[in-house]
Structure 1
Amino acid sequence: MNNRTVRRSVLISGGSIAGLTLAYWLRRYDFDVTVVERAPTPRPGGQAVDLRGVAKEVAERMGIMPEIDRARVHENGLAYVDKTGAWSARMPAELFDGEGAVAGIEILRGDLTEILYAAAQSGVEYIFDDTITGMREVSDGVVVSFRHRASRVFDVVVGADGLHSTVRKLAFGPEADFVHHLGAYMAYFTVPVDGLGLTDWFQLHNAPGGKLVAVRPEGPSTAKAMFGFKATDLVYDRHDVEGQKRILAETFAEMGWLAPRLLAGMEHAPDFFFDTISQTRMDDWSRGRIVLVGDAGYCGSPLSGNGTAMAMVGAYVLAGELARSRGDHHAAFTGYQQQLRPYVTECQKLPPGGVNGFLPSSRAAIRMRNLSVRMFTSTPLRGLMAKSMQKADSIVLTDYTVFEPARQPAASNIPPTSS
């Protein structure tokens, strides 16, 4: 039986992991769904992301785990190396049931986006190469203006548009009120593997001053370069890619190991990314008919390792609560926040040492970090380390299938029998 009486329209700003997962589930519950994405196409490339905890259950309920298994990146684990490339400490992927620094399931962000986009095709309207420029709530919806298209009215607007969310800025206020910089920056981009001598391990090299260069394999011909460094007062234009590349080249000019080769590959990288290491912290994820999901509302930072899990689980819960409430956004947003808040709190916890553990400032601190990794991955202390790690399974997913509309049976070609 169909419990819904009125179809509701939802605009999702952002066509990445959170937005596409949400679009899929809302269509299953018979909402009218529109996704607006700033990019001209679904975003390709991106670093490898983790599929952890109950996010795997969301993917299984969507029926996309076979595609994820085929596209996953196969890594043996994480290894810290010195300037010669010799290993100082390592953390195999199978440790901690695949929920450690390297997850049991890793997949390139672009590949996961492609899988989600294919799953969320039927019945979803996509508006690419456009963005929201204004929102005005009225008695029966939200009037939304776009940069390139005429204004439209939607029952609900969802910001799934990342750390620098336009929806959050328009509805809640300045980014500085909610995005908390952790004192470091990160960059990543794709490079060819030729001459790098890579293995199937994610290799990281730290240097004094809080600097890190890393490389992880992603296929037979390419790898992902990653750079991280501490800074608190860096001034740069978020839209000036060439300026960001200059910052990276200057910061790592004297860095050893593979840094020179990776920086040389930066100039031709198709997917250069540079941003702060930050968290989004908010008391409320909704205001009126507008709500946030994923990094827009609760980014955990790359250090937490749970961004993909929070995006997919958050989208699943939000869609389910909208279905449960039959489109009553007040009830839905209350249920969404009540169910998800404890999970987000757990997933946003930083690993032991936080930024200082990821980017040690001195040679002594680097040696101590490596020693702690060797100690806590050894058999006697492994259980203690497991307990200290945040888990992305600290929520039990509600089964919302009862709120799916009844499907009409397929038409039969067999003529009815006479009575």
Structure 2
Amino acid sequence: MRILVSGAGIAGPVLAYWLTRHGFSVTVVERAPALRSTGGHAVDLFRPAVEISERMGVLPHIEQRATGTSRMTIHQEGSRHPVPVDLSKIFGGTSDRHVEVMRDDLSEIYHDAARDHVEYLFGDSITEISPDGEVRFENAAPRRFDLVVGADGLHSQVRRLVFGEESRFSAFIGAYFGVLTLPNGSDLDGELRMHVGVGRTAGMYGARHIGDARALFLFRSERELDCHHHDVERQKELLRGAFAGMHPEVDGWLDALDRTPGHGPESESGSEWGSGAGSGFYFDSIAQLRMDTWSRGRVTLVGDAGYCPGPAVGGSTSLAVVGAYVLAGELARAGGDHERAFPAYERVMAEHVRGSRAVALSAAKTLVPTSRLGVRGLAHGARLISALPAGPGRALLRLTTKSARFHDSVTVDVYEASPTTAGDRIDLRR
């Protein structure tokens, strides 16, 4: 059975790995000419995704490339007193097994896990999908596949071709997110430096093995701004306007925009990065994909393409890994019968998707406070949790943030080729 996957970011390679394990023939098409290798931005894997990565045999490689960020310093806008935070305790309060890793590193690791068993078509994209499975490409000759999976991100081409324009399903949740690659001039080693004000948050962090740093920006907007996701100059203009005068250090980060060619969001990764250190730039609205179904005929969607809970705030990377694993497993369980497998996949993922959306809405409110009281609450709440012993700190986090441990609260089936073991379950709850 031949399956075409669009997108070689996170969900695509994970799906390809598990599909080949279940005996399917897989082709992955990716519009970028090659895997991106400039790092991207930091993403989080929570317990379910860590467990799946462990079953893939790639967890040691992921842990080896972890960012190593363990401390945070919060500067409240208008205050001279920075607040130190033990970030490892915050992470420990949200997940018993958590790894922060650069997105491009993670993509490469997942790609390498099954590259010898998967056909990859780089530098190409899908232009047409027929109901009978015939697919036309921008460059390659037309081919017929039994199934097509869109793993091509928030701005999915597959979703547009099969379900219609993105505006029908995208719900803006009131904020924007940007990431900029910079030289690590502050010699950040395991530290996240944050500046928090009313309606805006900026930060900078490094990673142990990449040699440069990332500046991140989140800001609120009551309405969706006039900015196409490929209009890089407009994106930079919006960032400058939102963060002007926040702090001299932040002004320095923004100055680097003049030296950053950058690109807008492009593929499943949600971003297109420049070719060298200091050249990467990403910007997009924080929006949720809300679809009644993400399957139609021989086509289904996985990860951000079908149910993005909100970039940077909803655990979308972990959700994509889980979704890819479940989709492959349900196809195997149904013997490749998509009319059985696709509805089962959607039933399994429905609760995870709803929960991740709620997490995203809560996280956006916390990370980008709407009042001075919220700014103080974020800074001093984080300091209190990090100052307490692990047990009380975890309990306080659960009391103050209802969704704090959602990502660790789900169960995922163990999908084996043999039907006698397919019904076993891994209990991922703590």
Task: Find the residue that maps to 1:349 and give its secondary structure.
Answer: helix
Of the three residues 45, 49, 54, the one matched with 1:55 is 49
Structure 1 length-normalised TM: 0.86
Q: Does 2:216 correspond to 1:226?
A: yes
Of the three residues 179, 182, 186, the one matched with 1:191 is 182
Q: What one-letter code is carried by the residue in structure 2 that aligns with 1:214?
A: G
Corresponding position of 1:203:
193
Contact 1:137/1:289 (8 A) holds in 2? yes
How far, CA to CA, are the matches of 1:27 and 1:132 in structure 2? 22
Of the three residues 85, 88, 94, the one matched with 2:83 is 88
Corresponding position of 1:126:
120
Give the drift of 1:382.
4.2
Task: Find the residue that maps to 1:350 and give its secondary structure.
Answer: helix
Task: Find the residue that maps to 2:406 and give its secondary structure.
Answer: coil
Q: 1:95 to 1:258 in 2, by over 3 A?
A: same
Farther-moved stretch of structure 1 (375-384 vs 146-155): 375-384
Q: 1:43 to 1:336 in 2, by over 3 A?
A: same
Give the drift of 1:109.
0.3
Corresponding position of 1:295:
304
How far, CA to CA, are the matches of 2:358 and 2:150 in structure 1? 23
Give the drift of 1:394.
3.1
Contact 1:212/1:227 (8 A) holds in 2? yes
Structure 2 length-normalised TM: 0.84
Q: Does 2:235 correspond to 1:244?
A: yes
Farther-moved stretch of structure 1 (392-401 vs 61-70): 392-401
Corresponding position of 1:29:
22
How far, CA to CA, are the matches of 1:291 and 1:54 in structure 2? 22
Contact 1:77/1:93 (8 A) holds in 2? yes
* Structure 1 residue ranges without an equivalent (≥5): 1-7, 405-419
How far, CA to CA, are the matches of 2:135 and 2:288 in structure 1? 27
Corresponding position of 1:276:
285
How far, CA to CA, are the matches of 2:234 and 2:27 in structure 1? 35
Give the drift of 1:303.
4.9
How far, CA to CA, are the matches of 2:243 and 2:387 in structure 1? 33
Residue deviations 1:138-187, cap 9 Å, x none?
2xxx1211111222111111010111111111111221121111111111
Contact 2:177/2:283 (8 A) holds in 1? yes
Q: 1:133 to 1:386 in 2, by over 3 A?
A: same
Q: 1:85 to 1:334 in 2, by over 3 A?
A: farther
Identity %: 39
Corresponding position of 1:409:
none
Contact 1:346/1:394 (8 A) holds in 2? no
Task: Find the residue that maps to 1:198 and give its secondary structure.
Answer: coil
Specify which structure has the higher proportion of helix.
Answer: 2
How far, CA to CA, are the matches of 2:418 and 2:360 in structure 1? 38
Give the drift of 1:365.
3.3
Contact 2:74/2:85 (8 A) holds in 1? yes
Corresponding position of 2:319:
310
Give the drift of 1:89.
5.8
Farther-moved stretch of structure 1 (343-352 vs 177-186): 343-352
Task: Find the residue that maps to 2:134 and give its secondary structure.
Answer: strand
Give the drift of 1:103.
7.6
How far, CA to CA, are the matches of 2:65 and 2:196 in structure 1? 30
How far, CA to CA, are the matches of 2:183 and 2:240 in structure 1? 18
How far, CA to CA, are the matches of 1:124 and 1:170 in structure 2? 24
Task: Find the residue that maps to 2:246 and give its secondary structure.
Answer: coil
Give the drift of 1:40.
0.7
Q: 1:251 to 1:369 in 2, by over 3 A?
A: same
Contact 2:74/2:194 (8 A) holds in 1? yes
Task: Find the residue that maps to 2:408 and give its secondary structure.
Answer: coil
Task: Find the residue that maps to 2:192 and give its secondary structure.
Answer: strand
Contact 2:332/2:417 (8 A) holds in 1? no
RMSD: 2.3
Residue deviations 1:103-145, cap 9 Å, x none?
831110011111111112022111111111111102xxx1211
Residue deviations 1:266-306, cap 9 Å, x none?
32332210000111122212111110100111111135441
Residue deviations 1:186-232, cap 9 Å, x none?
110211111x2535222221223x12211112136311110111122
Residue deviations 1:377-401, cap 9 Å, x none?
5645641422521422333222222
Corresponding position of 1:38:
31
Contact 2:2/2:24 (8 A) holds in 1? yes
Q: What one-letter code is carried by the residue in structure 2 that aligns with 1:298?
A: Y
Farther-moved stretch of structure 1 (370-379 vs 210-219): 370-379
Q: Does 2:201 correspond to 1:212?
A: yes
How far, CA to CA, are the matches of 1:355 and 1:70 in structure 2? 30
How far, CA to CA, are the matches of 2:36 and 2:81 in structure 1? 36
Q: What one-letter code is carried by the residue in structure 1 that aligns with 2:214?
A: K
Q: What one-letter code is carried by the residue in structure 1 that aligns with 2:89?
A: E
Corresponding position of 1:9:
2
Corresponding position of 1:162:
153
Corresponding position of 1:394:
409
Task: Find the residue that maps to 1:19 and give its secondary structure.
Answer: helix
How far, CA to CA, are the matches of 1:276 and 1:291 in structure 2? 24
Q: Does 2:397 correspond to 1:385?
A: yes
Farther-moved stretch of structure 1 (220-229 vs 33-42): 220-229
Contact 2:90/2:382 (8 A) holds in 1? no
Task: Find the residue that maps to 1:122 and give its secondary structure.
Answer: helix
Task: Find the residue that maps to 2:417 and give its secondary structure.
Answer: helix
Contact 1:98/1:105 (8 A) holds in 2? no
Q: How many residues align?
A: 391
Task: Find the residue that maps to 2:116 and give its secondary structure.
Answer: coil
Contact 2:150/2:300 (8 A) holds in 1? yes
Give the drift of 1:316.
0.6
How far, CA to CA, are the matches of 2:393 and 2:51 in structure 1? 29
Corresponding position of 2:268:
none
Q: 1:349 to 1:144 in 2, by over 3 A?
A: same
Task: Find the residue that maps to 2:412 and give its secondary structure.
Answer: coil
